[in-house]
Chain A
């Protein structure tokens, strides 16, 4: 069944459905390169509910990463409405956007994004440091959850690709975000390791974590309960399982 954001809210009673975590209406993002204008997103409308496992797919240049960065508060829309965890992102000042990124969003990068001179547990604790929180217990819990407790004193150079991505996932969860965003999380991994990461995402989602993944990986896309296809900056299809 294909459901678009507004239609979904008309067809069902709000109390039956999990709350909306992300809601976008006519979202646009335009980049200017000299005189040239590039419309990375051109009127995207979608919604994501709590607890969903969402895969954002599409060809290169479709606007997938741009969408993720807007939802993650790393950039601001050029026009349209974007609401994440109840906050309208376009109106937030930089300080508030930063707080949103720290408290409401957990981001996982394709290139892992670990600081090479810090240990695994120090990397995982970074968002807590920025939030002026002590998180020793939470770090230990997350490392055990992703299967890296025995590697906590190792540096990224001593880890495999899969281990680094699991550390990055633990870091993204340190502040218990409303939504975890992952941009090509298996892009730099082999198929076996990618399968491990997929299992981890499934496990987290089964525990109630909202996960949004941008991916070219068919297995990962197939595992998602909600699939959004972007093409040329627009939503070509938006289907839920």
Chain B
């Protein structure tokens, strides 16, 4: 026949445009809140995953911004400056250094596809850093050997033993000695070759772009950093402890997140003010109707609950719409973020997680409940005779 939910929903349908606009305000605020909360968890998880996949405790790079260098090392690009290969011996001699793996990285533009191809020159010591690597085939040992990332091999339809043209390097070829098992990271697109081959190919004899350093014990990180920075070669290189890098990037992102959090909070409060205004107007317009409800036997708590239920339905509908839009528009938001942050993990930044979704809906309900307190109390306080007479 009739239920309280039906009664509450019917109240919202009388001014549909106003209800819709108010719900959209709530949707925008919830979408912003969700994107912020989901981003923070997604970014943190992605960053930790990437640094874990790197396998190293320290990154030795040429002098310059360490965060840019870390980003290039993780995601692949051309480097603006180089390290002398002779520093490798210095690093390897340092106490508590278990493995120091040299890398000569370069990215070339492939005109045919419009994409870039990343090449990394490495030696056998890289196996000591990349302990999670699984290779189908063999690690590059002879000149011309290539170790190809799984995604690159798949898109090119390369197999172990194939002779292939090097993307972006006309006239150059190599033999696929091995294919890397998927790492879920940027390495799936890299092409690894012998260090000497890379130095020759890119005309950088005796030079490196960076070194990946694994320690015997991560607790010794600061000791090793201090020693490397204090040595003669320390003037020419930046030693970046990845744990600190993680923390520094986290702090940077945290600052940004706090600012964005304030924006999201303001948006939520503005939405709450909009809801309160809408419900206040609705109560004022329905004064006589509320008087009739009281005359028919609705108690004050019933009237209060009715107004609260209408507000809750409005906010939950707006919240659900906002979450749906945020989930669908997540890719757009990610693209926007990637273009603005200096260091961004390659995995998804905005991850849909049930606790985050639940927290957003709970926040919506809380804001709505607070917003309707005044109008609900006003409605419940209306004396039937005055309400009926006053309209």
Binding site for B on A (CB under 8 A): 65, 69, 72, 74-75, 94-95, 98-99, 101-103, 107, 109, 111, 113, 115-118, 121-122, 125-131, 134-136, 139, 171, 175
Do residues B2 and A126 form an inter-chain contact, with CB atoms below 8 A?
yes
* Interface residues on chain B, size class: 20 to 34
Do residues B1 and A125 form an inter-chain contact, with CB atoms below 8 A?
yes
Contacting residue for B1 out of A102, A131, A136, A175, CB 8 A: A136
Binding site for A on B (CB under 8 A): 1-4, 6-7, 10-11, 13-14, 288-289, 292-300, 302, 383-385, 388-389
Closest to B12 in A: A117
Question: A61 → chain B, closest Cβ, in Å?
Answer: 13
Do residues B295 and A74 form an inter-chain contact, with CB atoms below 8 A?
yes
Q: A223 vs B141: C-alpha distance in the bound complex, in angstroms?
A: 114
Do residues B297 and A101 form an inter-chain contact, with CB atoms below 8 A?
yes
Q: A113 vs B388: C-alpha distance in the bound complex, in angstroms?
A: 9
A residues in contact with B302, CB < 8 Å = 130
Q: A69 vs B291: C-alpha distance in the bound complex, in angstroms?
A: 12
Q: A129 vs B309: C-alpha distance in the bound complex, in angstroms?
A: 15
Q: A103 vs B298: C-alpha distance in the bound complex, in angstroms?
A: 11
- Counting chain B CB atoms within 10 Å of each CB, the highest count among A117, A122, A134 belongs to A117
A residues in contact with B14, CB < 8 Å = 116-117
- With A99-B297, A129-B2 already in contact, the answer to whether A118 and B10 are too (CB < 8 A) is yes
Main secondary structure of the interface of A (DSSP, over half): helix
B residues in contact with A99, CB < 8 Å = 297
B residues in contact with A127, CB < 8 Å = 296-297
- With A115-B10, A117-B10 already in contact, the answer to whether A122 and B1 are too (CB < 8 A) is yes
Contacting residue for B388 out of A109, A128, A130, A136, CB 8 A: A109
Question: B218 → chain A, closest Cβ, in Å?
Answer: 66
Q: A102 vs B384: C-alpha distance in the bound complex, in angstroms?
A: 13
Contacting residue for A126 out of B11, B293, B300, B385, CB 8 A: B293
Q: A125 vs B379: C-alpha distance in the bound complex, in angstroms?
A: 22
B residues in contact with A171, CB < 8 Å = 296
Do residues B6 and A122 form an inter-chain contact, with CB atoms below 8 A?
yes
- Counting chain B CB atoms within 10 Å of each CB, the highest count among A94, A121, A129, A134 belongs to A129
Question: A167 → chain B, closest Cβ, in Å?
Answer: 13
Q: A125 vs B3: C-alpha distance in the bound complex, in angstroms?
A: 10
Q: A84 vs B337: C-alpha distance in the bound complex, in angstroms?
A: 71
B residues in contact with A107, CB < 8 Å = 295-296
Beyond A101-B297, A126-B2, 4 extra complex contacts between A and B, CB < 8 Å: A98-B298, A115-B292, A117-B11, A129-B7
Contacting residue for B297 out of A69, A103, A117, CB 8 A: A103
Q: A130 vs B303: C-alpha distance in the bound complex, in angstroms?
A: 10
- With A74-B388, A122-B1 already in contact, the answer to whether A101 and B6 are too (CB < 8 A) is no
A residues in contact with B1, CB < 8 Å = 121-122, 125, 128-129, 134-136, 139
